[in-house]
Amino acid sequence: MEFDELIKKRRSCRAFKPEPVTEDQLQAIVTAGQWAPSPLNEQPFEFISVTDPTVKAQIQKTGIEAKQMIVDNNGPAWVKKYPMNFIGESPLILVVVFNPNKGGLGSYFGQPHGALQSTSACIQNMLLKAADLGLDSLWFTFFNPGSLKTVLDIPAELDIAGAILIGTPAMGAKAPPRRTPKIHRDRFTKEK
């Protein structure tokens, strides 16, 4: 598959077939993530592979908690209707954690986000590899991080970059339209 085609094929999926993600597929996806750039090659990311239905239900519960927190705090109206059942129905949830102290030299210049940035690049690689393998995915961040850390025994010093839901899509998803890129030349210019 051509690279441009692969980028456009990757979709955010919320409906999966029940068939499992194989160990070979999991390894290929994680390996793709490991090849992401990172400051000083620190590779600050680690992965928690979740397939146990009980643990997936607990992860789903953290999403429901986050949803209720947003509703209770007068968040966007659409959140109240947002379904969460697809979390537990995902064949694989790959939770990506990272060490925020492994962000390279940027912290000396007031740019302490290197670890999150490299972990985001890692996740993008994994999403693309999943698409390359005929799978769809969803980079899910709609959860209560404190609760998710408790559910998965994640050490306090690590942060969560996301929970990646991965599986065979139950139906095709249409790509939403993209905006025209805003390219500034030589300096940032405000639109008039």
pLDDT digits (tens, 9 = 90+) for 44-103: 999 999 999 999 999 999 999 999 999 999 999 999 888 888 999 999 999 999 999 998
Mean pLDDT of the chain: 92
Total structural domains within the chain = 1
The distance from CA 38 to its chain's CA centroid, rounded to whole angstroms, is: 17
Q: Is residue 123 situated within a structural domain?
A: yes
Q: Is residue 47 situated within a structural domain?
A: yes
Q: What is the mean pLDDT of residues 164-179?
A: 86
187 versus 27: the higher-pLDDT residue is 27
Q: What is the mean pLDDT of residues 134-142?
A: 93
**CATH code, domain with 102:** 3.40.109.10
Domain encompassing residue 78? 7-167
116 versus 106: the higher-pLDDT residue is 116
The alpha carbon torsion through 129, 135, 138, 144 (nearest 10 deg) reads: -100
**β-pairing verdict for 159-167 and 136-140:** antiparallel
pTM of the model: 0.90
Given a contact cutoff of 8 angstroms between Cβ atoms, the answer to whether 133 and 24 are in contact is: no
Q: Is residue 178 situated within a structural domain?
A: no
Q: Is residue 185 situated within a structural domain?
A: no
pLDDT for residue 192 is more than 90: no
Name the phi and psi angles at 142, rounded to 5: -95, 70
Residue type, 54: T
Strand ranges, E, within 33-174: 45-50, 92-98, 136-140, 159-167
